[in-house]
Homo-oligomer: A and B are copies of this chain.
Amino acid sequence: METLALRRLSEFAVPTAHELSALEGAKQARREFRRNQIISRQGDPVREVYFVAEGWVGSSLEVNSGRKQLAKIYMPGDLAGLPNIATTRATSSLVALTNVTVDVIPVKNLAQLFEQASRLGFMLFVASQQERVLLMDQLAVVGQTSAIQRVAAFLVHVHRRLTVLRPEAGLVIDWPISQQRVAEGAGLTAIHVNRTFRELTRRGLIMREGKKIRLLDLAQLCELAGLPDHVFIRNPSWLAGYCGGV
C-alpha cells in the first residue's frame, strides 16, 4: 500500500510535488524481506537508509549480555536506519517484523535531498525530533513503570501509530509481534509478558483473537500506560515562512 506511506509522510506538513519527486529520486532500489529477516546488521558500515513502503521494521540493539532491546517499530512512511548515519558502524540492527518492502536510499543521496528540497530537509529534521520524543517516552515507560504499565503502553503506542496510518482502523489490531519481541521492547522477559497479557485480559482491557488483539477499554489502557498523548505540530507557522526548496 503506497498510500499508507504517503499518509504518514504528510502527517507533519503536506509535501509538494517537487519534494515528492526529490524523495523518489533519492531512492535507489526496492527490496523485499520476509518476516524475521535481517535488513541491516548492528556493527556493519553504514551506507544507506530505508524508506519503509510496506510492513513493519524493528530497530534492535544488542547489549553485551546478549539481550536485545527493541527501540523502535518503523511503519510505512518511516525512514528506518536514520540514526545509524551518525556513526561509522550501525548502532542497531533492522529486522523485518512482518514481510516488508523498503526503498533503499544511499546516505549520499540524503545530503543531496537536503540541497534539492531544503524544506523537506527541515521536515525530516522535525520528524527526527518527533522520534526523539517517542524514544524518551519509551525510556520513561521502561525506566519508571511496572510491567503491566509497560505492556499497556506498548499496545497504546502501536494503536496510536496505526491510527495515524488508517484513522478507520478501530480497536482491533493485527498483531504480528511475538511476546518475545514485546519483551525486548518493554524490558521484560517473554514469560512475564505472557502473564501480563493474561492479566490485561483478566481485567477486561484486551481480548486476544488469534493473531489480532482487541482493545476493549482504550481509555483505561491509556490511563494505565500513563503516556501523554502528544499533539505533534502540523503546518507550524515557522515552516510556512520557510522559503527553501518549493
Residues of A within 8 A of B (CB): 59, 61, 63-65, 67-69, 71-72, 82-89, 91-92, 107-108, 110-112, 114-115, 118, 121-122, 124-133, 135-145, 149, 184, 186-187, 223, 226-228, 230-233, 236-239, 241-244
In the complex, what's the smallest C-beta–C-beta distance from A51 to chain B, in angstroms? 16
> How many copies altogether?
2
Q: Is A71 in contact with B136, judged by CB distance below 8 angstroms?
A: yes
Q: Is B69 in contact with A143, judged by CB distance below 8 angstroms?
A: yes
Instruction: Specify which chain B residues have a CB less than 8 angstroms from the CB of A110 in the assembled complex.
Output: 238
Interface residues of chain A: helix, strand, loop or mixed (majority)? helix
Q: Is A69 in contact with B129, judged by CB distance below 8 angstroms?
A: no
In the complex, what's the smallest C-beta–C-beta distance from A149 to chain B, in angstroms? 8
User: Which of B84, B85, B139 sits near A71, CB closer than 8 Å?
Assistant: B139
Q: Is B242 in contact with A61, judged by CB distance below 8 angstroms?
A: no
Q: Is B83 in contact with A115, judged by CB distance below 8 angstroms?
A: no
Instruction: Specify which chain B residues have a CB less than 8 angstroms from the CB of A136 in the assembled complex.
Output: 59, 61, 69, 71-72, 83, 91-92, 135
User: Which of B63, B118, B131 sits near A118, CB closer than 8 Å?
Assistant: B118
Closest 6 CB pairs of A and B: A143-B187, A64-B226, A69-B140, A86-B129, A83-B132, A67-B144
Query: Can you list 13 A-B contacts (CB < 8 A)?
Result: A64-B223, A67-B145, A69-B139, A71-B139, A71-B140, A82-B129, A85-B233, A86-B230, A88-B232, A114-B244, A121-B122, A128-B132, A142-B142
User: Which of B86, B87, B133 sits near A83, CB closer than 8 Å?
Assistant: B133
CA distance A243 to B130 in the complex (A): 27
In the complex, what's the smallest C-beta–C-beta distance from A129 to chain B, in angstroms? 4
Nearest chain B residue, comparing its CB with the CB of A67: B144
CA distance A71 to B141 in the complex (A): 11
In the complex, what's the smallest C-beta–C-beta distance from A4 to chain B, in angstroms? 21
CA distance A186 to B144 in the complex (A): 9
Q: Is A114 in contact with B118, judged by CB distance below 8 angstroms?
A: yes
